[in-house]
Amino acid sequence: MDGTDANNGKYKKFAKPGSLHLTAEDIAPATDEEKRQLFMMRESVTYWKDAYRRFKKNKVAMASFFVIVFIAMFAFLGPVISPYAYDQQIRGDERMAPCYKHPFGTDAIGRDMLVRTMVGARISLTVGVFCALIVVVIGAAYGSISGYLGGMVDNVMMRVVDMISILPLTLYVILIKVFLDTGLSSIVLALGTVYWVNMARVVRGEILSLKERDFVLASLTIGSSAKTILLRHLIPNAMGPILVTMTMLIPQAIFMEAFLSFIGLGAQPPIAEWGAMVSDARNYLRSQPQLSLYPGACIMICVLAFNLFGDGLRDALDPRLKT
């Protein structure tokens, strides 16, 4: 050892080679470049920002999101700019094949299929979103109360959920729908009073896990009420699974609404619904297959897009998948 050391291309002498005595130059703070060579710090982000970053990396989920946005624009802006009404019967244009004037063709009484498909998308999205909101309100309230109180109350409330779960949901929805009117509000109410069961179970499981955390004990120590703990601490921390479950419920509600319309329990004519349009087109499958093709394809694309979007949202909000 010759008592020299390289530092940025220059050599410096130690006080005494082989000794423990150091000069002020030897203990000078490291430069920024030297620090960057040793480690790289990661920018601190919040839970939601980190979830958004992971969601953007999921190409399938992002593509599904843009498809959903396009369907929403197709549903709510399309009928506004269309020159035809969904119930308008155009004389002389009956049973037309797809053309420039009618891109989706017309049905047997001359109604434009494109605008009817747009209105059907509006109805399906409205039913799906409002049904999901009802499910969140009922399921989150029921599940959070059951999970937080625990004990005998939890057992009784969960047995009620089990009793509802063993009933065939499709048959239950049809029975409720039969006793109600045939409007869209009855469809939303019928679906919302059935699909809250899964939401209640998800929320209950999250509340059972979260109520054992230290922040809940701290809230109890300062005298917070059960309502405050649920609304300000537990439910906000369970919003990730709640949002994912709500997103997954929307395609289920859309498909069930189309099924009810297909069997004649949806909104009555002349209102355009995808399921009713497919049902009306059964007699023209050979002569005019597009009458059932377009609404059927819309049902498939919409349900698939929401399912893929929900999968991506679940992956992004799961901290165990953090990368």
Beta pairing partners, 106: 112
Find the mean pLDDT for residues 235-253. Answer: 89
In this structure, what token pair is assigned to residue 17? 């080679």
Least confident segment among 175-179, 180-184, 199-203, 273-277: 180-184
Per-residue pLDDT reduced to its tens digit, 57-113: 999 999 999 999 999 999 999 999 999 999 889 888 888 888 888 899 898 888 999
Euclidean distance between CA atoms 309 and 113, whole angstroms:
28
Quick one: pLDDT at residue 155? 92
- Determine which of 111-120, 172-181, 264-273 has the lowest per-residue pLDDT on average: 172-181
DSSP β-bridge partners for residue 219: none
Angle at 62 between CA 56 and CA 63, to 5 degrees: 155
Residue 9 confidence class, pLDDT cut points 50, 70, 90: very low
* Cβ count near 292 (within 10 Å): 18
Give the number of other CB atoms < 10 A from CB of residue 161: 18
Give pairs for 262-268: CB < 8 Å, separation 24+.
265/174, 265/177, 265/178, 265/182, 266/182, 266/187, 267/123, 267/182, 267/183, 267/184, 267/187, 268/182
- Asked if 182 and 146 count as a contact pair (C-beta separation under 8 A), the reply is no
Beta bridge partners of 196: none
Half-sphere exposure of 182 (CA within 13 A, CB side): 12
The CATH number for 59-321, chosen from 1.10.540.10, 3.40.50.300, 3.20.20.80, 1.10.3720.10, is: 1.10.3720.10
Largest CA distance in the chain: 106
Per-residue pLDDT band at 213 (split at 50, 70, 90): confident
Domain residue spans of the chain = 4-38, 59-321
* pLDDT-based confidence at residue 233 (cuts at 50, 70, 90): confident
Q: 164-168, 268-272, 317-321 — which is least confidently predicted?
A: 317-321
Q: Which of 9-13, 94-98, 221-225, 286-290 has the lowest mean pLDDT?
A: 9-13
**Given the structure tokens 């920002």, which residue do they identify?**
49
20-34, 211-225, 275-289 — which is least confidently predicted? 20-34
239-262 and 184-210 helices, crossing angle to 10°: 150
